[in-house]
Chains A and B, each alone.
Chain A
Amino acid sequence: MKARILIGTLGFVALSSMASDARRADGLTAWEQVYSVLISPRCINCHTAANHPQQGDDRRRHFANVTRGPEGKGVAGLHCAGCHQAVNADSTGVPGNRNWHLAPLSMKWQDLQGRPLSSAAVCRAVTDRSKNHDLDGAALLKHHAEDALVLWAWNPGRRPDGTPRTVPSLTHTEFVDATRRWVEAGTPCPK
């Protein structure tokens, strides 16, 4: 009798472990989809490690000597909102959003040479509540689903030459779905 109980318990533990491994694997797959969006130019250009934002699909330094400023919104004579209005200005080719700003250095997703950080490093930063404005998984999902500046990445307007800016590789719906699966798996990060 005892032997049967022991075998049953071990079997349950093994099945639970397998389920947990599968859940983590699914979560990691979902994270890689999320990461593919985060390192798109529309997102990572304002998640720099330097004192300035980037622009364009080639992620060059923002022109006109624009700098980060104390709150990530530029400096007095050269404020982000001095060019970037509340909405895209397609006639002049300037993208816009009411909350246009650089992400804080704690949320940098690239190194000082402009190379995107690894999937594992970005995941650690995004899930570190001491760096991410104390967002838990549910709050991260809400941020990806509803934040106006996140949504801008799928409505980035036109370049000064009139051509449309590129958008991330996933649709916003796919991005939110991937985030949801990653959150439901416990926001696992690659090692």
Chain B
Amino acid sequence: MPEMTTYQLNVNGERRQVAVDSSTPLLWVLREELKMTGTKYGCGIGACGACTVHLGGIATRSCLVPVSLAGERPIVTIEGIGHDRIGRIVQDAWVDQDVVQCGYCQSGQIMSVVALLKSTRKPTDANIEESLGGNLCRCGTYVRIREAVKRAAGKLA
């Protein structure tokens, strides 16, 4: 029986307490303990980007980060990103551009795009390719994703 440790997490601006094994990946704490299922499990090895959240403002693969290493850093998930101005603009662009097909990867895509636009207001195609290079979409919505990123960037100008 694994030993449970209690952690105080800052998730989407709220204090959340969980008691889990210290090695539990943040992804599973979000999904199983906090029932925030917007963050997806894709590969479990950081290769697909479906589990991307913001940890301390950095787009982070939550499947790779043990909850014990999250510390006091704020965690923002797809459930909370709409409260951020840039996050709202990106989500609106996603709807306007009708990006989604199956949708499984899209929460991770959006979290990475928001991180990109927070650092680069007018991203080039190369910026988009590099920043989203770790987010895979098996439906092949990459063209629509790129257009939505540009649409969102246009609204930030």
Contacts and interface: CB of A to CB of B under 8 A. Distances in A.
Interface of A: 63-67, 69, 75-79, 81-83, 85-87, 89, 91-92, 94, 96, 160
Interface of B: 23, 25, 45-47, 49, 52, 55, 58-61, 63-66, 69, 112-113, 115-116, 118-120, 127, 130-135
Contact of A66 (B23, B120, B134): B134
Contacts of B118: 76
Contacts of A75: 116, 127, 130-131
Contacts of A91: 23, 25, 66
Given A83-B60, A92-B25, A76 B120 contact: yes
Contacts of B135: 77
B46 A76 contact: no
Contacts of B45: 160
B14 to A, nearest CB: 23
A61 to B, nearest CB: 12
A96 B71 CA distance: 15
A85 B61 CA distance: 11
Contacts of B23: 91-92
Given A89-B69, A92-B25, A78 B59 contact: yes
A64 B46 contact: yes
B46 A94 contact: yes
Contacts of A96: 69
B20 to A, nearest CB: 12
A85 B65 contact: yes
Nearest to B44: A92
A41 to B, nearest CB: 19
**Overall SS of chain A's interface:** loop
A159 to B, nearest CB: 11
Contacts of B52: 77, 82
Contact of A76 (B47, B49, B119): B119
A132 to B, nearest CB: 27
Given A64-B47, A67-B130, A77-B115, A86 B58 contact: no
Contacts of B69: 85-87, 89, 96
13 contacts: A64-B46, A66-B134, A67-B133, A75-B127, A76-B59, A76-B127, A78-B59, A78-B112, A79-B115, A83-B65, A91-B23, A91-B66, A92-B23
